[in-house]
Every structure is written in C-alpha cells, then in structure tokens.
Chains A and B, each alone.
Chain A
Amino acid sequence: METLIVILVGILVSIGTYLILSKQLLRIVLGASIVSHAVNLLIMTSGGLKKGSAPLLGEKMAGFTDAIPQALILTAIVINFAVTALVLVLCYRAYQNFGTDDMEQLRGNENE
C-alpha cells in the first residue's frame, strides 16, 4: 500500500512540476496545489498506513492510526490554503495591473 501511494505521489509531483514550469500564472498556482496535495499524502504515508481505528479514544479498538502526521497535515492544509488564497489574489492583481498572465512577459523592466 505504501509503495502504491508513494508512486502516486511521484506521479503527482511530476505533473505538478510540469505545471509549475509552464508560463501561465494560473497553471503555476494549480501546479503548486497539486504538489501540496502530494506532499500531504506523503506525510500521511510516512507515518505508516497500518489499519487501526481513527485516533479517537472513544473507539474501543486494539490500536490507533498514527495521530502525529494527521496533526501535521492539518496544519499544512490550513497554511496551504492561506498561501493559495494570497497567491490567487496576487495573480488577479498582476493581471489587472499588467494585463497578462504570461510569466515570460512579466519579467520586470530593464531599469531595475
């Protein structure tokens, strides 16, 4: 199971990287989102995917799944959300100001 998820993560990272390397701003944001999904999955996997009950003490089961990666991912999701929101608005502003979302055209002026 871990191997399967790791391969999935690899494929997602590849696709995300390819998107990040493209020249459209929106695609870069989408690529970053895909990579962050992949990373969340990777964190989950690194904790081990053994079947156990959800980490709720009310459950009367023999073992729980690892709670630490879950806490980490929860934090990561929220931060990722915040960053994505900010970047999206930045893209929106960049488009408004410069009238393009092509990274090759958004190189900045020569007199910097």
Chain B
Amino acid sequence: MIPFYAFIFLPFIFAIIVPFLYKYLNRQVHTGWFVLLVPLSIFLYFLQYIPSVAAGETYMYTLPWIPTLEINLTSYLDGLGLMFGLLISGVGALVILYSIFYMSKEREALHNFYVYLLMFMGAMLGVVFSDHLLVFYGFWELTSVSSFLLISYWYERRSSRQGALKAMLITVFGGFAMLAGFIMLILMADTYSIRELIANLNLLQNHELFLPAMLCVLVGAFTKSAQFPFSIWLPDAMEAPTPVSSYLHSATMVKAGIYLVARMTPIFGGSSVWFWLVAGVGLITLLYGSLTALRQTDLKALLAYSTISQLGLIMCLLGVGSLAVYFGSGEEGTVFTVATFAALFHLFNHSTFKGSLFMVVGIIDHETGRRDIRFLGGLMHVMPVTFTIALVGGLSMAGLPPFNGFLSKEMFFGAVNEVAHAGIFGLSSLGVLFPIIAWVASIFTFVYCMIFIFKTFGGNFRPEKLTREVHEAPLGMLIPPLVLGLLVILIFFFPNLLGKAILIPALSAVLPMMDVAPYDLKISAWHGLNLELLMTVGVIGFGWLLFKTAKRWITSLRGFPKGFMLSHWFDRGIEETEKLSGSLTNRYMTGSLRHYLIYIFSFFVLLLLGSLLGLHGLHFDFSQDAPIGFFETGLAVAMILAALTVLLAGNRIVAIVALGAMGYMISMFFVIFRAPDLALTQMVVETVTTVLFLLCFYHLPKLKKNIERISFKLTNVIISLAMGVTVSLLALAANGHKLFEPITSFFENAYELAGAKNIVNAILVDFRGFDTMLEISVLTIAGLGVYLLVHQRAKRRESNETE
C-alpha cells in the first residue's frame, strides 16, 4: 500500500522539487532528465502488476483523508486502471524524453513546464485509480486545471490564452455536470465507492435519479473527451507546446472521458439511453471529426480533428459494447463484448500512433519552422526517419495492414455490422446507419491520413518557403516516436501478447458480469476473408480515388461558410452573453443613489407588506390603548406641520430650524410620556445638532441660502407613502399582539439590586452597561472621524504646497 501511494504521489512530490533543480542545475543539465525518472519509475512499478492482474487479481488500497465524512483516497487497481496507468506513465516517459530535445534549455521556462506536466501526470494517475467518486472528481478537475496551464504555457500569445480559456470553460462545465451526476449516484446508493455502486445495481436502476445521473455523467465524459458538440476546445488547445499536445490531447487526458464511460458501463450499460447517447454521439463525432479534419491546413489542427474522430470511434465502440450488458453472457452478449474489446484495443493503438504523429509534427515544426501543409512538401528525402515514422503512424491511423490500426478498425467494422442485427432499442430500422456512417468516416480518415503523409513528405521540396535550414532531427527527438512506431508494428504482429496481458483484464473490468474465457479465441481471429476485410478494401479504393482528386473538391470544403462551424457559434455565444450581462448590469447599476434606495425601499415594502398580507398577520387590537389626550393630539399636528415645513422649505435655514422644532417637540412628547432623561437628552442633542447644522452652513458661503424647491416625482411619492403605510400597519399589527408580559418589573428592583433610584440610568450603566460602553466608543469614533475629515484637508494642502 505504501509503495503504491508513493508512486501515485511521486509526480506531485517531484513537482515541488523541480523548481529547485531548475534553479541550481539547469545550466549544466536539462531539467527534463530529472523529470524523466518519475514516469519511468512509475512505469516500471506498474509493469510488475501485469502478471497478477492478468491472472484476475485486483488491488484495493485505502488512505484515510477525511474519515469522518467517509472521504478517503481509495485506490482500486484492476485491468482498466492498470492499462491507463501504463499508458500514462509510458507515454509520459516518452513525451518527457521528447520534450528534453524539443524545449530549449536556454529560452524556455522549463520549471513551469515540468511542474505543470508532473501535476497533470499525477492528476491523471489519480483519476484512473480512484475508487472514491469525490476524490475522482478532485483529480478530474486537477487535470483540467493543469491542462489549462499547459495550453497557456506561452502565455504571452493571445491565441494560447484564448485556447486555454475555451478548454477550461468547456471541461469545467462538464466537470460540474459530472459532479452533479456523482452526487446523484451517491444519494441513490448511499455510497461513495464505484465498486459498491456496481455491487448495488438493483438500488440504482429503478431509481428516478438514474436517468439524470446518467446524463450528467455523460456530459462530463463528452466534454473531456471532446465529443460532438463539445469538441471545439481540442483544436484550439493545439496552441500548447507539441509535447503537451502529444501527451494530453492525444494519449491521456482526452481519454479520461473514455475511461469514465468504460468505468460506468457496468452501472449504466444496458439501458437504451446510454447506448444511443454513447454510440450515437460517438458515431456523429467520428464523422464530424474526420470530415472537418479534411479542411485543415495546419498539421496540428488536422491531428486534433483526427483525434476527435478517433475518440468518437472509441466512444461508439463502448456504446455498442454496452449492449453486452443488456444481453448478458451468452452468444449474443459475446458478440458485443468484442466491441468493448475493440474499444480498449483501439484506445491503446490510438495512444501509440497518435502520440508518434504529434511528435512527428513537432519535429517538422522544429526543423522547418512551418506547420502548414501549403508550405511543406518533399521532406521525404531530407528527413527519412521522420518520414518513416509518419508513414507508420499515418497508415495505422488509416487502418492499413501491417499496422495495429488495421486490427482495431477491422474489429470496429465487425462491431458496427453486428449492431444492425441486434434488433433492440429500435436498432432493427436505424441499425443499418451504423456500418454506413462508420464506413464513410473511414474513407475520410483514409483521405486525411494520405494528405497528412503525402502533402508533407511527398511532392516537391521547396526550401524557400521554410524559415529554417531543414535537416533530420536529433536522435533524442526521434527515439520516442520511434519507440511508439515500433509498438504500432509489434502490436500488429503480436496482438495477443498485449491482449492477454492487458486488454483482457481491462475488458473484464469494464464488463465484470461477462465471462472472460470465451474471448481468448476471438482475439487471434484477426485474419480471414470476411465482410470487414472487403469494407477495408473499399475504404482504400474510394479513399485513394478521393485523395487523387483532392485538389478539385478540397478548396470548396475549405470555403465552408462560418455559420457551419461550432467554434464560431461558441465564440458568438460567449460574446453575446458578455454583452447581455453587461447591458443588464448597466441597466440597474446606474450609479444613482436614488435608484438604489428605490430598490431597497420597494423590496422592504414588498417583503413586509407581502408577508403581512400573505400570512394574515393584520389583526388590530385597540383595547389596550391609552386614551388620547389633548396635548398629544396638538403636538402630533404640530409635528406633522414641522415635518412638512422641512419637506417644502425653500430656504436651508428654515428647513434646519423646522427640524430643530421637531426635535423639541419630540422632547415634549418624552415629557408627556414620563421620560425625563430622554427629554433632557433630546433637548441637548437637538440643540447641538441644530448648532452643528447652522455652523456647517455658516462656513459654506458658496452654498446658496436658498435651495431649489423639492421636485415632485410620482415614483418617490408612491414609495414614500408605501413606506409610511407599511411601517404603520406593521406597528399596529405588532401592538395588537402582546404575547407575554414585559420584563420591566425586574428592573423596578433597581434600588435593591443596584442601589439606584433612577431606573433608566440603572439600566444604562448597571444592568446593560455594555451597550453604553460601546455607545461611548461610537461617539468617540465619530468625533475622531469629524476631526480627521476637517483636519486632513489642511494637511493635504500643506503637502501640495511643499511639492
């Protein structure tokens, strides 16, 4: 257990060390050499699991993290996890080796690069080994974040930043959807563990949240794996350095969604929605990606769309494979189990050939300074090794023998041919579309592979169009794609070796309910004249024809209007949303105090009056009221008159004096209501306030004595009347509800308890002295504030003068 976690966290730990290595050793040694040790050791560590996992063993490790919330770093190692672990660490090692020669020691900020890359590697390992849903989500988002950092590695370029932002927005959107789906799953089965979810399937399948959870999880998988229509971020992510594109955007991160779908197949597989969404979207993505790839002139963009299309293929196969869950073990189920096997097989193959192809593009870019096929050509003789690798990778991608892509494509055709005969989920009528679309998409795939190989390496060599003097790449840069290219060929000749050791255990992880034993035979059955082979021959024939006539139709394809591009609509959408929110905010955030006050008052009125009326709180009870006296009535009338004077005064002094009069009348009220202390205080405070007001204006000679009369605004009138009515109604309703006796009688013991005869003063300084203390501080702070406000100005003047 300890070594396992040590290796999972090794990338993170090493990421902390990298900046120091860079700072102290970069002048002598490229930092990448140290980093290379990390994936290499992880790879070697995982290799030793192969025999035992192939024998059907699984490993479960738990590291407590937040045990009280049952959140633990639970790791589960089975065939599927191991396969991804090997891919991540293996391709990771090759990519880092490649990057040592690709990234300049002098010009690049290598410490950033390797920290992000290691972070990504660790996160990706975490994703594929996590059994805990929330921990899975945490690592999942960490891959998004580190991918964001890597895409924007050359952050001074505008396009890098935009690509990174787009990738972030889309993948995090999907991540949130996935989290929602996970939470629904957790609610349904009351467990965080994927293992236990699979074990408690019967709890899930008839639950009303089953479908929403499935949709949310699928959105997460589709955004991460760049499925239609979420694929738009992947081509823009090509602004990243090529090792990153090769690693993240072909071999690992974009397969996280595939991993998720494969992992969830035992849970959701077998339902028609799952089948149609996964297989259908995969098929659409396959066609869309292969068709759009034809339009591209930039090699990396071409590879990006080809990645999208190949991911669609794998997704489609996983969807078809999920039918096996429906049929269960038996003749019919076995047929579709092969589809899942093909998905895993193609996933592995795609990582090998796509990784090598990206590295090839990186080499071309590095050695010629160009990535656009319109400028390239005839590199065959200048870069023979690179050409060989591109040929191997490209032909494998096109699905030609003797490369591994041929095998998986044959299996793909086999699977889609079977779909037409499945006879469930409405497939008897629509099923025939599967082989047709798959076949057409394969033709397009073939064509763009040919374009990739022959427009770059064939034709005339035109050195005048290239920015650098072209020569073969250094050996170190060639080794990683060579290794991958060798794998491509080796897997073709010895597919069963890989199949037995890695793919079969992975298959039994995806479809645990199926009996694995019968497929041993199927894997070796890769030759023989059958329908699939004929389809491949057709692909090659039509593809070659299309490629030869490419000049005629490809310009019209490139001239496609913008309106057909998803990316265009995404950008428009973002732009419009920003505009909309900007105009909305500007509409209500006017900067005018009056408007804000209107919002506040209206809200106050609506909420209080609404709840008062809505909850039937309007009960008046006047029985407790004291009789109305003559003095009070007179005072009240006088107060209203004084307030109206304040309101309508055309002269500041009149308004101030009227306000003072109001204050004195209040103190008269206090006298009548038997509150001597209040009356005293009110009198003094009113005097001081009035003096302050007057002083203020005495010292403001510029301010005219006369002010314009207050203007009549109907809105203001309505709101202020509503405020008055609300306060009155509320007070009346409250007065009608005396729920319990006041506690005043306690304070009437002031003499016994506090030795005071004045109850009010005893409350102020004894019973509730704390309030008074803070009130004093309020007064002090206000005094200080006033002093500073007056004094600061003089200071600033002085400093202005000294300047």
Contact surface of A with B, Cβ cutoff 8 Å: 1-24, 26-28, 30, 33-34, 37-38, 40-42, 44-58, 64-68, 70-71, 73-75, 77-86, 88-93, 95-96, 99, 101, 103-104, 107-108
- Asked if B525 lies at the interface with its beta carbon under 8 angstroms from chain A, I say no
Task: List residues of B (742-763) whose CB comes within 8 Å of A's CBs.
Answer: 742-744, 747-748, 750-751, 756-760, 763
Q: Name the contact of B594 in the complex, choosing from A23, A40, A41, A92 (C-beta under 8 A).
A: A23
Contact surface of B with A, Cβ cutoff 8 Å: 591-594, 597-598, 601, 622, 624-629, 632-633, 636, 639-640, 643-644, 646-647, 652, 655-656, 659, 662-663, 666, 669-670, 673-678, 681-682, 685, 688-689, 692-693, 696, 699-700, 702-703, 707-708, 710-711, 713, 716-717, 719-721, 723-725, 727-728, 731-732, 734-735, 742-744, 747-748, 750-751, 756-760, 763-764, 768, 771-772, 775, 778-779, 781-783, 785-786, 789-790, 793
B673 near A65 (CB under 8 angstroms)?
yes
B626 near A2 (CB under 8 angstroms)?
yes
- Min C-beta distance of B144 to chain A, whole Å: 33
Complexed CA–CA distance, A45 and B743 (Å): 16
Complexed CA–CA distance, A30 and B626 (Å): 31
Q: Name the contact of B789 in the complex, choosing from A54, A55, A89 (C-beta under 8 A).
A: A89
**A50-B626, A71-B760 are contacts. A18–B744 as well, Cβ < 8 Å?**
no
Q: Given the complex, which residues of A lie within 8 Å of B781, measured CB to CB?
A: 82
Complexed CA–CA distance, A25 and B303 (Å): 66
New A-B pairs, 11, CB < 8 Å, besides A51-B674, A57-B757 = A14-B725, A17-B723, A21-B597, A24-B708, A34-B662, A44-B675, A68-B747, A81-B779, A84-B692, A90-B789, A95-B700
**A2-B735, A4-B633, A18-B720 are contacts. A57–B750 as well, Cβ < 8 Å?**
yes
Across the interface, name the chain A residue whose C-beta is closest to B776.
Answer: A78
Q: Name the contact of A75 in the complex, choosing from B676, B707, B728, B772 (C-beta under 8 A).
A: B772
A15 near B716 (CB under 8 angstroms)?
no
A1 near B669 (CB under 8 angstroms)?
no
Give the secondary structure class of A's interface.
Answer: helix
Complexed CA–CA distance, A58 and B756 (Å): 10
A92 near B696 (CB under 8 angstroms)?
yes
**A3-B732, A108-B591 are contacts. A22–B710 as well, Cβ < 8 Å?**
yes
- Min C-beta distance of A104 to chain B, whole Å: 6
B731 near A82 (CB under 8 angstroms)?
no
- Min C-beta distance of A100 to chain B, whole Å: 10
Complexed CA–CA distance, A2 and B666 (Å): 15
Across the interface, name the chain A residue whose C-beta is closest to B640.
Answer: A11
A79 near B700 (CB under 8 angstroms)?
no
B647 near A67 (CB under 8 angstroms)?
no
- The winner among B601, B644, B682, B756 for most chain A CB atoms within 10 A is B682
- Min C-beta distance of B603 to chain A, whole Å: 14
Complexed CA–CA distance, A67 and B749 (Å): 12
A12 near B716 (CB under 8 angstroms)?
no
Complexed CA–CA distance, A66 and B685 (Å): 23
A15 near B675 (CB under 8 angstroms)?
no
Complexed CA–CA distance, A74 and B772 (Å): 10
Complexed CA–CA distance, A74 and B776 (Å): 12
A68 near B744 (CB under 8 angstroms)?
yes
A86 near B731 (CB under 8 angstroms)?
no
Complexed CA–CA distance, A96 and B696 (Å): 11
27 interchain pairs (CB within 8 A)?
A: A3-B622, A6-B731, A6-B732, A8-B639, A8-B640, A11-B724, A13-B723, A21-B716, A30-B656, A33-B659, A46-B734, A46-B735, A57-B748, A70-B760, A71-B760, A71-B763, A74-B681, A75-B772, A77-B681, A85-B782, A86-B782, A86-B786, A86-B789, A89-B696, A90-B789, A92-B700, A103-B593
A37 near B632 (CB under 8 angstroms)?
no
Q: Name the contact of A56 in the complex, choosing from B598, B640, B673, B676 (C-beta under 8 A).
A: B676
A4 near B636 (CB under 8 angstroms)?
yes
Q: Given the complex, which residues of B lie within 8 Å of A88, measured CB to CB?
A: 692-693, 696
Across the interface, name the chain B residue whose C-beta is closest to A99.
Answer: B702
A55 near B758 (CB under 8 angstroms)?
yes
Q: Given the complex, which residues of A lie within 8 Å of B678, measured CB to CB?
A: 70, 73-74, 77
B707 near A56 (CB under 8 angstroms)?
no
- Min C-beta distance of A97 to chain B, whole Å: 8
- Min C-beta distance of A24 to chain B, whole Å: 6
Complexed CA–CA distance, A56 and B759 (Å): 6
Q: Name the contact of A71 in the complex, choosing from B659, B700, B768 (C-beta under 8 A).
A: B768
Q: Given the complex, which residues of B lie within 8 Å of A82, measured CB to CB?
A: 778-779, 781-783
Q: Given the complex, which residues of B lie within 8 Å of A53, measured CB to CB?
A: 674
- Min C-beta distance of B36 to chain A, whole Å: 51
Across the interface, name the chain B residue whose C-beta is closest to A7.
Answer: B728
A81 near B763 (CB under 8 angstroms)?
no
Complexed CA–CA distance, A73 and B633 (Å): 22
Complexed CA–CA distance, A96 and B745 (Å): 52
Across the interface, name the chain A residue whose C-beta is closest to B655.
Answer: A30
**A6-B728, A18-B720, A89-B790 are contacts. A55–B759 as well, Cβ < 8 Å?**
yes
A52 near B591 (CB under 8 angstroms)?
no
Q: Name the contact of B627 in the complex, choosing from A1, A34, A68, A85 (C-beta under 8 A).
A: A1
Q: Given the complex, which residues of B lie within 8 Å of A55, measured CB to CB?
A: 674-675, 748, 758-760
Complexed CA–CA distance, A85 and B756 (Å): 32
Q: Given the complex, which residues of B lie within 8 Å of A83, measured CB to CB?
A: 778, 782
What are the nearest 6 A-B pairs in CB distance?
A: A14-B724, A10-B728, A82-B782, A17-B720, A55-B759, A18-B720
Q: Given the complex, which residues of A lie within 8 Å of B647, measured CB to CB?
A: 15, 18-19
B793 near A93 (CB under 8 angstroms)?
yes
**A8-B640, A56-B676, A103-B593 are contacts. A68–B763 as well, Cβ < 8 Å?**
yes
